[in-house]
Amino acid sequence: MATKRSVGTLGEADLKGKKVFVRADLNVPLDDAQKITDDTRIRASVPTIKFLLEKGAKVVLASHLGRPKGVTPKYSLKPLVPRLSELLGVDVVMANDCIGEEVEKLAAALPEGGVLLLENVRFYKEEEKNDPEFAKKLASVADLYVNDAFGTAHRAHASTEGVTKFLKPAVAGFLMQKELDYLVGAVANPKKPFAAIVGGSKVSTKIGVIESLLAKVDILILGGGMIYTFYKAQGYAVGKSLVEEDKLELATSLIEKAKAKGVSLLLPTDIVVADKFAPNAESKIVPATAIPDDWMGLDIGPDAIKTFNAALDTTQTIIWNGPMGVFEFEKFAAGTDAIAKKLAELTTSKGVTTIIGGGDSVAAVEKASRSQVSLPLTMRKLWSQVSCPCQPWCHFVLDHGVTLQSYGHEIEACHRVLLDESRISLDFLAGASEVI
């Protein structure tokens, strides 16, 4: 196994007296009184920060909170200072901004073993745009970089990717390394049978994903808008459903590759169609081979759900990326909700290893947890907790996942381990458009 470039490989000689820019995920829930209601993410960041402090580093801590549009007081990180100070055993200094003269002065004044918490980096639109000048300003107060924000690591933002162009070395924190280690075990050496559920609107965004999976899985279940390209490639009428005309040959070749490799490729046998793309559209269930003209498929049907569930019942490892239909519309969410419920059932009753990646898939699980669908506590909480070591079985929810582009060259080895051993890109778990 390749050596991973993580914070644990740095010694006192690398860190003593150095200012370390630490991107953590401190996006914790706050109540109306600005009190923390769940400090899981703060506690998860503590081991990396304490390690740095013990080595004599000066920590400049950055995070986002919520989805602010400009400077928004309710999304300030100031309410986190007391809890951070308590957990770290030091008085955390709070800046009123994340860049600028005040930040520069506070960072310069930090003693060894001191912590400076920057204000919400998303108060600047340049953060999410990965603006190079903004990234340069963030990096200007530090000597090296540690990314321990697993839940946001896939995003090429200024504080997760941009700063790595100005700070070397750029390494992973302990939380990041732990989750990558989990993935190597769960994906590179999965318990068999191994199934993948791939949804989403277009075949073109999942070509590399599907091809990689065909070399690894026993069962491949397809859903979402991409299925209509597969149907048309087989000569079926698809009405007004989404079709990528230039990917028909590709769809045919993928079906042939699955057959050649002995992979059971399952497409829905029935479809929920609508007369328009709207939450209040008229709908009906039809066979997948008989979608009427002027109607469009927006979800998988009940027979497909039964077939998919029966296949999943035989598995020991499942990866899910992408919804089965337009789950944002309640009328067309049944297929996606059913998958979420099934994975919850298999996780709790059979100890099946479940990996859920992609923003839409995680959002679907969150949605299901707020509905009447019964999900176990671990599945409801894992997007904030990331992993649950207290259970005898492994269940994992990737909050969007990780991509190589999220880091500087220094820690690429962390990802390359998984790529080399499993041939499945972490970008698959992030719902990215291609396999690296």
Spatial CB neighbours of 147, under 8 Å, sequence gap ≥ 6: 23, 153, 160, 170, 171, 172, 173, 176, 406, 407, 411
Q: What is the mean pLDDT of residues 235-264?
A: 94
- The answer to whether 59 touches 53, Cβ cutoff 8 Å, is yes
Is 27 flagged in the annotation as binding?
yes
Is 97 flagged in the annotation as binding?
no
Q: What is the mean pLDDT of residues 423-427?
A: 32
Q: What is the mean pLDDT of residues 375-385?
A: 33
Is 206 flagged in the annotation as binding?
yes
- The answer to whether 22 touches 61, Cβ cutoff 8 Å, is yes
Is 423 flagged in the annotation as binding?
no
Is 122 flagged in the annotation as binding?
yes
d(Cα 162, Cα 133) in Å, to the nearest integer?
A: 9
Which carries the bigger pLDDT value, residue 71 or residue 357? Answer: 71
* Omega of the bond leading into 193 within 30 degrees of 0 (cis): yes
Is 155 flagged in the annotation as binding?
yes
Is 43 flagged in the annotation as binding?
no
Is 41 flagged in the annotation as binding?
yes
- The pLDDT confidence band at residue 29, using thresholds 50, 70 and 90, is confident
Sole residue written with tokens 């919850």 = 344
Question: What is the predicted pLDDT for the residue at 275?
Answer: 96
Find which of 13-22, 350-359, 403-412, 416-425 is predicted with most confidence, using mean pLDDT. Answer: 13-22
Is 25 flagged in the annotation as binding?
yes
Question: What is the predicted pLDDT for the residue at 411?
Answer: 27
Is 118 flagged in the annotation as binding?
no
Sole residue written with tokens 């700063």 = 163
Cβ neighbours around 251 below 10 Å, total: 24
311-368 confidence digits (pLDDT tens): 999 999 998 888 899 988 989 999 999 998 898 888 888 888 888 765 566 566 655 5
Q: How many degrees, rounded to 5, is the angle at CA 17 between CA 14 and CA 22? A: 75
Is 114 flagged in the annotation as binding?
no
Question: What is the predicted pLDDT for the residue at 428?
Answer: 31
Strand pairing category for 219-222 and 194-198: parallel
Which carries the bigger pLDDT value, residue 371 or residue 258? Answer: 258
Is 38 flagged in the annotation as binding?
no
| Cα–chain center distance at 50 | 26
Is 66 flagged in the annotation as binding?
yes
| Cα–chain center distance at 272 | 28
What is the CB-side half-sphere exposure of residue 131 using CA atoms within 13 A?
12
d(Cα 104, Cα 108) in Å, to the nearest integer?
A: 6
142-187 confidence digits (pLDDT tens): 999 999 987 777 678 999 999 999 999 999 999 888 877 766 666 7
- Among 214, 244, 221, smallest CA distance to 232 is for 244
